[in-house]
Homo-oligomer: A and B are copies of this chain.
Amino acid sequence: MSVTLAIDAMGGDHGLAVTVPAALEFLRKARGDRVILVGDEPAILEALSRHRTSPDDRLSVRHTTQVVEMDEAPALAMRNKKDSSMRIAIDLVHEGAAQACVSAGNTGALMATARFVLKTLPGIDRPAIASMMPTQKGAVCILDLGANVDCSPEHLLQFGIMGSALVAATENKPSPSVGLLNIGSEDIKGNEAVKRAAALLRSSPVNFAGNVEGNDVYRGAVDVVVCDGFVGNVFLKASEGLAQMLRAFLREEFGRSWLTRLAALLAWPVLNAFRRRVDHRRYNGASLLGLRGIVVKSHGSADILGFRCALERAAEEARHGLIERITAHVEKLTPVDA
């Protein structure tokens, strides 16, 4: 099945300098798919011409006049930027002209606009943000990463269902195991919401593996990790910060003298293989789950490789019918007497 992606070409720290070449790379690899570049048409055409290309049957441009700023308040962006590249990219999904949209813009505005335009799926109270992360055994999907700071047990259950559908769709795992992020593996641990969520997940059709702790996540203990958005965001940012620090320390130690720099040179292929293995760009692209349409958020600072990975993720989700899968999962769950 071929997919059409609507791309917010203006979003992110680098805008067209990243979105246009990433879209072209995506098209080169994904032979059947199409993209719509949404944004300032003259600027997009100029960026395309710099890559010696122009619109064709697989690449079209949709002109818009506004751009949502990275630090703009979501409510203001929604009210005042009805012709923004972000808004129109979402509209294209809503109208069926595209099967998924991708933006590297303001997360809050993207979530608010997507929720307003697309609406949530039946049985889902709140959309969540999910992302894949590397583990010792492969990858794990973790949600929510910051859309919902306070979550009821029912919300956490819905996150489990959505994460499970996401992993089933994109990782080719028919029945992904779902863990609840907690501060101990025993059932009595954690706060009230988490304890009750464990009970709900246990009696749901989800393949619930019980509580997991922060270190279990990277061990690859489960395929999906469920937590509220506050905890998930701290998890994600702490991991980013620690990885940055270790990278900085390694660089410093290898840069101390000509002797250590020589060692770095000799160890280069190994260090490079290591770097590739934990390259966060390969995991770029967070899914806004629970909406009646596929929306993927790229990191604002993503480079071409990173943004292309977000495009591939969006296309994969559309190709494997993510929305239909979530809908089917939620229907299975709803008790007969509800």
A250: chain B residues within 8 A (beta carbon): 274
A266 on the interface (CB 8 Å rule)?
A: yes
Taking a contact as CB atoms under 8 Å apart, the answer to whether B183 and A146 are in contact is yes
Contacts of A254 in B (CB 8 A): 267, 270
Say yes or no for A30: interface residue by CB 8 A criterion. Answer: no
Measured between beta carbons, the chain B residues less than 8 angstroms from A227 are: 234
Question: Would you call B183 and A136 a contact (CB within 8 A)?
Answer: no
A300 proximal to B (CB < 8 A): no
Chain A residues with CB under 8 Å of chain B are 134-136, 146, 149-150, 181, 183, 190-192, 194, 213-219, 227, 229-231, 233-246, 248-250, 253-254, 256, 260, 262-264, 266-267, 269-271, 273-274, 277-278
Q: Which residues of B contact A266 (CB under 8 A)?
A: 262-263, 266-267
Complex: A234 Cα to B145 Cα, angstroms: 13
Among A227, A234, A256, the one with the most B-chain Cβ atoms within 10 Å of its Cβ is A234
Known contacts A239-B214, A239-B242, A249 near B263 by CB under 8 Å: no
**CB-CB nearest in chain B for A238:** B214
Bound-state CA distance A250–B253 (Å) is 15
Contacts of A217 in B (CB 8 A): 238, 241
A245-B136 in contact (CB<8A): yes
**12 more CB-based (< 8 A) A-B contacts, given A181-B234, A218-B238:** A146-B183, A149-B190, A150-B192, A183-B230, A183-B233, A216-B237, A219-B244, A231-B231, A235-B235, A243-B246, A253-B270, A260-B269
- Provide the residues of chain B in CB contact with A235, threshold 8 Å: 214, 234-235, 238
Q: Which A-B residue pairs are the 8 nearest by beta carbons?
A: A214-B237, A215-B241, A218-B241, A214-B238, A183-B233, A267-B267, A218-B245, A263-B267
Q: Once the chains are docked, how many angstroms separate the CA of A229 from the CA of B124?
A: 29
A230 near B191: Cβ-Cβ < 8 Å: yes
Residues of chain B within 8 A (CB-CB) of A274 are: 249-250, 253
CB distance from A73 to the nearest CB of B (A): 9
Are A270 and B263 closer than 8 Å at their CB atoms?
Answer: yes
Interface pair B253/A264, CB less than 8 Å apart: no
Least CB separation from A183: chain B residue: B233
Most buried by B among A183, A216, A231, A243: A183
